[in-house]
Structure 1
């Protein structure tokens, strides 16, 4: 038989239970709330500086893109972004059963990819969307020094590859080699901290290339041979409509890259420098030499 608890004792036990629950409740909830706060998308000082730099880059690149003569500053980076654009065409052509015959790059007129076969419904938008996707990945890497080191190695190779397809004139060759020198030089400054701002610059420019180029082709110059106009002739709709859609997708990729960078890289500048010391420690190598 179960023991019978007198009514007075039951009231006492009930009061004790309520008191214990009220006392322990916040303590039990705190770990859960702390876990949620850690997973939340908060912005620390270092990330705030990076977001400010991204906003400044958007304005600076937009101005330099349209100012005569001064736009030469963007020459090597524009060549690289155009290369990303053409790589997007070429890769999707190969993946859809086509064959790439040639690629040419010109900072004045843009790039041209000559290919046979492939599904043009995929290859035509792949230029803008491909460069935007690469730009989003570079923007993501620009939030961290070690990630920027890895990205800069790939960028250096891509810069040199552009010389193979680019128009062979002295200005193109010199500016691309200077851009490669800038990447290499940044490795040896303050444990490569400036490197991430160079990678971030290229990422922002590549992410927004489709927006600026589509605006330039379809609104300012009204070029009839743009990717959007060719796509509209083959599959319907207007070139402006497809251009706007591709631009919105490019902006979406960029926002995803920024949000991923905020979520993945929470380290301060000092912590990033410490991490960078252990990943190809260029400063120590320089002093040893």
Structure 2
């Protein structure tokens, strides 16, 4: 059956949204730099270049058959962030989390009771994007990356409690913890900064690609966006596009804030890192 004009328009709109979101973060950040008069030093230029490189590489690997499996561990990690965000939103709105589980086919589910669905439903996409933006912010500085890894460790402990009967979730969390701990011992945790940055970019863009997968490629009828549309009006495509651009804004905010907060050179960052929980 040939696609209807309505589906063709929706597909075109969402593909445009995905491509725009991939580059929107750095572009929005550039305009903010000009407006606020922020100065970018050499170390920050390198970080910005790495962010763009990560976004391009992730976008390519995500869509190349077979090679895309190289991203599988990080996909599972960002899905864990997605489900953790659902769970945290449920707790903050009076709900109860019963369990979290991940699926080898790159899916996940959070079983919860109560909570405010208007908040818990978009919390998965937007929460993982917000986490991504915060990790990008921390990725501009080694000490901030150390602090971020400690916070992630606490969040992972909660994940292990909620997912104690799901081997894939437990395995994903333990591998992530192992990677972060190992990076503490490489060049005074300089490697940790780039790993945190990579996870941040991946998480910030995850909602965009996941929405495209759910609403275009696989036509999933039970996505967060479709359930939200059924309960609160509008279309899943509309909410998906809105959430995609919000994700790009979180990424841009992380970049701008990182530039403003961390003007230290690479050499100074190594010195500061040696004084903060040295390894």
Scaled by the length of structure 2, the TM-score of the pair is 0.80
Alignment of 1:184-223 (within 5 A): 184-223=181-220
User: Match of 1:237?
Assistant: 234
Pairing partner for 1:123 from 120, 124, 134: 120
User: Match of 1:168?
Assistant: 167
SS at match of 2:62: helix
Distance 1:95 1:173, change over 3 A: closer
Deviations 1:67-125 (A, max 9, x none): 34433332332222112111221122222222222221124141111222222111111
Deviations 1:159-179 (A, max 9, x none): 56655628425xx76665444
CA distance in 1, matches of 2:171, 2:229: 38
Distance 1:91 1:159, change over 3 A: closer
- Higher RCO by CA contacts (8 Å cutoff, separation 6 or greater): 2
SS at match of 1:242: helix
Instruction: Give the superposition deviation at 1:201.
Output: 0.3
Matched, 1:247 2:258: no
RMSD of the alignment, in Å?
Answer: 2.2
SS at match of 2:189: helix
Pairing partner for 2:259 from 242, 259, 262: 262
Pairing partner for 1:140 from 132, 137, 140: 137
SS at match of 2:255: helix
Distance 1:108 1:72, change over 3 A: same
Contact 2:126 2:243 in 1 (8 A): yes
Alignment of 1:80-91 (within 5 A): 80-91=77-88
SS at match of 1:108: coil
SS at match of 1:155: helix
CA distance in 2, matches of 1:81, 1:94: 20
CA distance in 1, matches of 2:171, 2:123: 29
Larger radius of gyration, structure 1 or 2?
Answer: 1
Structure 1 unpaired stretches of 5+:
1-36, 283-289
Instruction: Give the superposition deviation at 1:180.
Output: 3.0
User: Match of 2:146?
Assistant: 149
Scaled by the length of structure 1, the TM-score of the pair is 0.77
User: Match of 1:57?
Assistant: 54
User: Match of 2:72?
Assistant: 75
CA distance in 1, matches of 2:249, 2:96: 30
